[in-house]
Amino acid sequence: MSEFAFKARELDSGDELAPKRAEFVLDEVVYLDGNSLGALPVSVPGRVEDVVRRQWGELRIRSWEESGWWTAPERIGDRIAPLVGAEAGQIVVGDSTSVNVFKALVGAVRLAGEGRDEILVDATTFPTDGYIAESAARLTGRTLRPVTPAEVPSALSDRTAAVLLNHVDYRTGRLHDLPGLTSAVHAAGALAVWDLCHSAGALPVGLDEHGVDLAVGCTYKYLNGGPGSPAYLYVRRDLQDRFDSPLPGWNSHAEPFGMRTEYAPAPGALRGRVGTPDILSMLALEAALDVWDGVSIEAVRTKSLALTDFFLECVAEYVPQDRVESLTPAAHEHRGSQVALRCDDAGEVMKRLIDQNVVGDFRHPDILRFGFTPLYVSFTDVERAARVLGEVVAA
């Protein structure tokens, strides 16, 4: 056994989260793509079967009340809340991340008021945020200005209505300074909207603590909700009464079954709902969240950093230096829960890695992306992934 394989075993034996691995369906694959689609929690299939066969098949329409379907968006929002540092009553689940970005950004612009005519958007963001931000700007008559997160402080002005930022860069894995940037945005009198897709479930977010105004995130990455599981919207409690959604569907009405012609928004987080929630996907997510019982997000962060540290060590040991270059910041305070390696033939290398049962993903044009989900990735996985990577690039 190599020195690193031995060290991996030691690290696994000291890992307080190691028992969580048994709560997921895993096999011989080293699965480092949980930042794209989280693995299946063991609790999900049985729950989904019950939802389909009994709740839908037998109770049918009665399940809207009796099986708690109607209140699922806010109930599941409250399950996600502690994972992102939010008190209950501020998150609703539903719709895709893109749709929630639209709600959040138009809502933020309206909260900022008429005098502010510019939206700043993270120029390095996952593309959908930029496209939707452009649409939000066009529909609200604002100007959209793409800037890097580092440029945000100097770009802010009394023209700024809202700033849309990613907590963790989806390509490089860089963790942006949510507390500092949010403060800077507030100092300029603007609203901060954060996209948590690549941070929620992997590290502490502290939405309430840092006074974030609005936030969105998906649930199929580190929250393991399943393919395309519904996203969520956070609206800080003291903004909820003034939150003016551009998608005021009947589910967000104060009296949804009153069937009123006039729209009157519900109080609280419910105002972020739109149409009928997609119950199958939503209740699969609810079951998936059971894996967080008894888990502290601080412990997750500690393990996440240990995993990425160890992966970088193993890569330095196993992979020739001229073949890959890490784009992920070395400093812990700037690192998410993934490692991105630049590699000239990344597409081909990732194919061979997958053939060897090491699954990460390839991001155009030259990035090998490896996500580390602390609830189920072991240090033994990490050592094996780096070792196989070394073999593949040497071949």
Burial pattern 14-39, b for ≥16 Cβ within 10 A else e, equals: ebebbebbebbebeeebbbbbbbbbb
Task: Yes or no: say if 237 and 89 are a contact pair by the CB < 8 Å rule.
Answer: yes
Active-site residue, 369 included: yes
Q: Is 204 in the site for a second copy (CB under 8 A)?
A: no
Active-site residue, 243 included: no
Q: Which DSSP symbol is given to 115?
A: T
Q: Which is nearer to a second copy, 58 or 322 (CB)?
A: 58
Least distance (Å) from a second copy to the CB of residue 102? 6
Count residues near a second copy (CB under 8 A): 81
In this structure, is the dihedral angle defined by the CA atoms of residues 202, 206, 207 and 212, taken in order, positive or negative? negative
Q: Which among 337, 311, 319 is positioned nearest to 221, based on CA atoms?
A: 337
Residue 198 assigned to a binding site: yes
From residue 228 to residue 247, the character string flagging contacts with a second copy as x (rule: CB under 8 A) and all else as - is xxxx-------------xxx
Among 57, 179, 180, 267, binds a second copy (CB under 8 A): 57
List the structure tokens of 131: 């496209």
Q: Is 165 in the site for a second copy (CB under 8 A)?
A: no
| Gap between the Cα atoms of 312 and 130, Å rounded | 31
Among 17, 30, 69, 323, binds a second copy (CB under 8 A): 69
103, 142, 369, 384: which is the annotated catalytic residue?
Answer: 369
Active-site residue, 31 included: no
| Gap between the Cα atoms of 189 and 115, Å rounded | 11
Upper half-sphere CA count for residue 48 (Cβ side, 13 Å): 16
Looking at residues 22 to 51 of the shown chain, list those that interact with a second copy (rule: CB under 8 A): 25, 27, 29, 31, 33, 36-37, 39-40, 44-45, 48-49
CA–CA–CA angle 77, 78, 81 (5° rounding): 85
Active-site residue, 335 included: no
Looking at residues 362 to 381 of the shown chain, list those that interact with a second copy (rule: CB under 8 A): 363-364
Among 14, 227, 294, 320, binds a second copy (CB under 8 A): 227
Task: Please state the three-class secondary structure of 221-241 as a single string.
Answer: CCCCCCCCCCCEEEECHHHHH
Least distance (Å) from a second copy to the CB of residue 5? 25
79, 103, 171, 221: which is the annotated catalytic residue?
Answer: 221
Q: What is the largest CA-CA distance in the chain?
A: 72
Active-site residue, 290 included: no
**Known binding residues for pyridoxal 5'-phosphate:** 97-98, 126-129, 195, 198, 220, 250, 276
Which residues have a catalytic role annotated? Answer: 126, 195, 220-221, 369
